[in-house]
Structures are given as structure tokens and as C-alpha cells.
Amino acid sequence: MSDFVEGRWAEIFGPRYLAVTTILALGVSLFAFNAFLSATALPSAVRELGGVEVISWATTLYLVFAIVGGAAAALIKRRIGSRWALLGLAGVFLIGTLVAASAAAMPQVLVGRAIQGFGEGVVAAICFALIPELFPSRLVPKVFGMQAVVWAIAAFGGPAGAGALTELISWRAAFLINVPLVLIFGIMVLLVVPASQRSNQTAGFPGLRLAVIGTGTMLVALAAIAPPVPAALLLIGAALVLVAAVWLDRRSAERLMPPDAFSLRTAVGSGLWLFLLMPVAGAATAVYLVLLLQQLWGYGPTLAAAIGAIMAIGWSGSSVTVANVRRRSTRRILIRTGPVLLALGLLGVLIALETSSLPVLIVSQLAIGMGFGISNGYIMLTIMEATSDAERDRTSALLPTTQSAGNALGAALAGVAANAAGYAQASQQGEILAAIVPLFLMAAVIALLAWFAALRMVRLAKQTPIAEFASE
């Protein structure tokens, strides 16, 4: 392939691709909106239903089941085809929405959130897997740029929209807003997504591997809310369980993952490590920044959330800007630069909090967002180009699952680092400032590990034949 790859923004919104672009945007928006829904709507649900002691599990169960669903997505797609997989699991998501919205007690909300998570985990993963099927290589960066914009809109509009619905109507309305979105999504899938051929393989359902993946993810989730020492043990246990899941999958007749998943000997495996480690590092600000701004600077929730959302501006803006890059050499530079910007941004946030400097904080938040924005699309594109046609479904579907796992692991590690440094017991400003130093230093180190993974992926990708995607 030429070093120059033509592609224009107008194409993905033109007559040929508009319907497909809309489907992918809706699939991503369902996942993105619900990522921000619980923090806004669930406090009102707790006031009505009780059960404040289990409120965190509404997010935990959603995430755990989304990861399990994402791990099973490629298999489900092969068994029943893309169209019926998207329709069926969008229906599962809808059932979970109705269960949660009609809840008479918090346990029912938890059940609904778990069902939602599984359905949306599969839908999001299959939407990723459809990108190389439905778009030529030259348009894939534009599609990833579009998805970044959807996430940015969700970061701003999700909490605001859910808050308005909760305040003006009820928290149930915030859940039910998913209903028309799912119906529109289903109609678009019926009209646009081809009825792909089903696999004739008859291998058994991988229940053991999915259970092992779910167990490992649950241990990570438990570590996020446990005291430091038990949390560290839980994270070690989670790592061992998830390594066992990868080991079992490589030896299975019908795999959930590509055979080189998380192997540092290939571009695909190194890229998956990079795609995992960056959100692990970014979780430090995602979890703690809004709270720290309220504690240290006296900001209200709205202003603190607005400052926190600056990262989304940097992410979406830079992602759209670099989507026009054509040279592969430049794309490799962007991949290598992303983790460096992330590390510098994390250190900048720490400096800004320690010195009470709002300008430094804003610049640092933009740097963190740009670190993700300039690299994520080309990390995903490079991974998909480096994988074989036979493994592309598994690899593409694993990308959002890996990112969700990184967010979960990052939140747990951030909690362990902060609590081990005494953050939970800190009451004075000086104590808080001292406690967050290990948190941000750990995050910066993880970002540097991501940089090493980026260097290895880029080097190995140069030696790997480049695959083409959808035909013109």
C-alpha cells in the first residue's frame, strides 16, 4: 500500500456511509452515555429506594458484565451473524434498561445494570468489529475520530442530560431515554447491516473462560473498594486469574481472543498492552480530579466537573485533527507521542494541584486528552492492520473490552495508591496534597510503560504485512 492514504471527512457522512456511521455512533453513544449515567441518576434512585450501601455496585456490575460481554462478542458474531447479534444484544440491553427503570428496590436496579452491561458490551465490541468490514482503511481514522467526538459529547451532555431528566421528571426517565435510542439503532441495523454468513463450527460454549474473565474483573472491582493490603492481594489474584484466562483461551478449539493476545512478540499483542496501559494511567485523573478540586480549591460539583471535562475537549479535538494524517511514518510518531503527552499531563496535574495553578491544570488536562486523541485511533488501526483476516473479528472486538478492563484496573490501582498513602484519612489540605503524590507518580510510571509498549508495537508493525479492509 502507498504511504499516502486518501480519505475525506465528507465520505463517512456522505450517502454511501452515512447509515453505517450513524449505527456506529448510536452504538458508541449507548455505551458512552451509560458510562456517565450512574453517577448522575443513581443518587436520586437511592433516595427513593434506599440501598446506599450498594450504590457503587450499580457501576461495578455494569462494567464487569460489559467486559464479559465484550469477550464473548466475536464468538456471538460468528455464531449468529452481525445483524442478529446487534439486534439480539440491543434487545438484552433494552430489557436491562426496563428492569432498572421499573425497580422497586436497589437489588432490581443492580440486576438491570448487569443485564445492560452484558448487552452493551457485546454491541460495542461488534460495532468495533464492523469497522474494518464496512469501511476501507483510508476512512478508519475518520471513524475513530467520530467516535472520540461522541465520547466528548457524552462527557458533557451525559451528566447534564441525565441530571435534567432526573430533576425535572425522575431518575427513571434518565434510564428510559435509552429506549428510543435502542429502537432507532435496531431499525438502522435492520436496514443497513448485512446478514453475514454464520459459522458452521460446533464447538461448545466457552462458559469456563467467560467465568474466569468475569471472576478476574470482579476481583479488580473489589480491589477498588477494599483497604490497601487486601486490595493489593485482590489485584495480584486478579492478574493471575486473567493470565489464566488468556492461557486457557490459547488452548481452546474456538478462541475468544487472537492467538497472540498480549504477547510482546507481535504488533497485535504489544498494541493490546498499549491499549490497556493508557487508560490504567489515565484513571488517576478520571477517578480523583473532580473530588480533589472540591476538596482543595473549594469548587462546586458543576465547576469541578467542567474542569474535569477539559480532557474530553483535548481528546476529541486532537482526534479529529490528526484523522487527516496520511503518512504512516507520521502515524507512528503520533502513537509514540501519545503516552509521553499522557505522562507529562499527569505530572502537570500533580504540579497544578500542589501549586494551586489553574492555568497549569487546564494545559495538563488538555495534554492528557491529546495523548489519547492523537494516538488511540492509530493504535487501533495499526492493531487491525497487523492482524490476519481470520483473526480480525476477535481482535477488533477485543479492543473496547481491553479499554474497559484498563479503566477498571486503573480505578482499582488508583484507589490502592491513594489509600495506602493515607488519602482516605486525610482531612487537612497538606495531608491531602501529600497523599496524592504517590497516586500521580504511579500513573506517570504506567504511562511510561505504555510508551515502551508503543515503541515495541511500532517496531514490530514495520515488519508485519499491512492488511486491507473493506473493498471500495
Per-run averaged pLDDT (10 residues), the chain, 472 residues: 54 81 81 70 78 70 85 85 89 93 88 90 85 80 78 68 75 85 86 67 69 85 78 88 88 82 91 94 87 87 78 85 83 95 97 96 96 90 85 82 84 84 85 93 96 95 71 50
Residue that is written with C-alpha cell 428496590 in the block: 105
Q: Residues 352, 364: contact at Cβ < 8 Å? A: yes
Kindly state the cell numbers that stand for 55. 450504590
Q: Is the dihedral of CA 213, 219, 225, 229 positive or negative?
A: negative
Q: Residues 136, 470: contact at Cβ < 8 Å? A: yes
Task: Quote the CA–CA distance of 138 and 132 in Å, as a whole number.
Answer: 10
What SS3 class is residue 103? coil
H/E element, 76: helix 55-80
The DSSP code sequence of 374-420 is: HHHHHHHHHHHHHS-GGGHHHHHHHHHHHHHHHHHHHHHHHHHHHHH
The pair phi, psi for residue 194, each rounded to 5°, is -70, 150
Residue 11's closest CA among 21, 2, 1, 3?
21
Please compute, for residue 89, the number of CA atoms within 13 A of its CA located in the half-sphere on the CB side. Answer: 30
DSSP symbol at 139: G
- For 171-217, the three-class secondary structure string (H helix, E strand, C coil) is HHHHHHCHHHHHHHHHHHHHHHCCCCCCCCCCCCCCHHHHHHHHHHH
Task: Quote the CA–CA distance of 349 and 289 in Å, as a whole number.
Answer: 9
Q: Give the per-residue pLDDT at 155.
A: 66
Q: Give the per-residue pLDDT at 1.
A: 40
Q: Give the per-residue pLDDT at 203.
A: 54
Q: Give the per-residue pLDDT at 469.
A: 58
Q: In 275-325, which ranges are E strands?
A: none
Q: Give the per-residue pLDDT at 6.
A: 52
Q: Give the per-residue pLDDT at 11.
A: 80
Kindly state the cell numbers that stand for 330. 507520521
What SS3 class is residue 87? helix
Residue 408's closest CA among 175, 224, 215, 170?
224
Q: Residues 418, 424: contact at Cβ < 8 Å? A: yes
What SS3 class is residue 102? coil
| Side chain identity, residue 286 | A
Q: Residues 246, 398: contact at Cβ < 8 Å? A: no
Per the rule left: phi > 0, alpha: psi between -120 and 50, beta: everything else, 258 is beta
Task: Quote the CA–CA distance of 350 and 360 in Å, as a whole number.
Answer: 10
* Helix, strand, coil share of the chain (percent; to 5): 80, 0, 20
Task: Quote the CA–CA distance of 279 and 400 in Å, as a whole number.
Answer: 11
The pair phi, psi for residue 282, each rounded to 5°, is -65, -15
Residue 1 Cα distances to 6, 106, 118, 135, 137, angstroms: 11, 55, 38, 16, 10
Task: Quote the CA–CA distance of 471 and 351 in Å, as a whole number.
Answer: 49
Kindly state the cell numbers that stand for 269. 499483542
Q: What is the dihedral of CA 123, 128, 132, 134, to 10 degrees?
A: 40
